Amino acid sequence: MQVRGTSNGDTFGLVTTAWERPDFVSPERPVSYATAIAFYNNESVENLVKWKPETAKFAALPLEKFIFKITGWDVTRAEDQQDAHGPLTRDTASKWKKGALQRFYYARLKKNAPRSMSKKKNARPALPH
């Protein structure tokens, strides 16, 4: 809402929904994308449940799906690709941190990724297409 007085004593008012605070976080996404990525790279489901006990009902989900449930961010996609619905690509996975890619590898193949492999080589079996 904007209100302005004029020199002749009239008052002018304008109400619009076209403006947001620059630091505004929508209710569907209560934290920033960077925070969601930090959760994925540094936290476990158990620690996140301790932080937000009401999320315990999602604790059986894989970490990336758990983070989506509590933050609204898909940490397996870039911030500007949140609306993408296609399959994940190797190019996307190669930009993740090594620990994130190793967790994804384990979730997909039910075995640990070889630590001596590069991120690119770890992405190949986890994302064959």
pLDDT tens profile 37-94: 999 889 999 999 998 899 999 999 988 899 999 999 998 888 888 887 777 777 777 7
Q: How far apart are CA 106 and CA 126, in angstroms?
A: 8
Note whether residue 117 is domain-resident. yes
Number of domains in the chain: 1
Note whether residue 76 is domain-resident. yes
Note whether residue 25 is domain-resident. no
Note whether residue 9 is domain-resident. no
Which structural domain, as residue segments, surrounds residue 52? 32-126
Note whether residue 1 is domain-resident. no
Note whether residue 3 is domain-resident. no
Q: How far apart are CA 106 and CA 54, in angstroms?
A: 27
Note whether residue 122 is domain-resident. yes
Kindly report the pTM of this predicted structure.
0.59
Note whether residue 13 is domain-resident. no
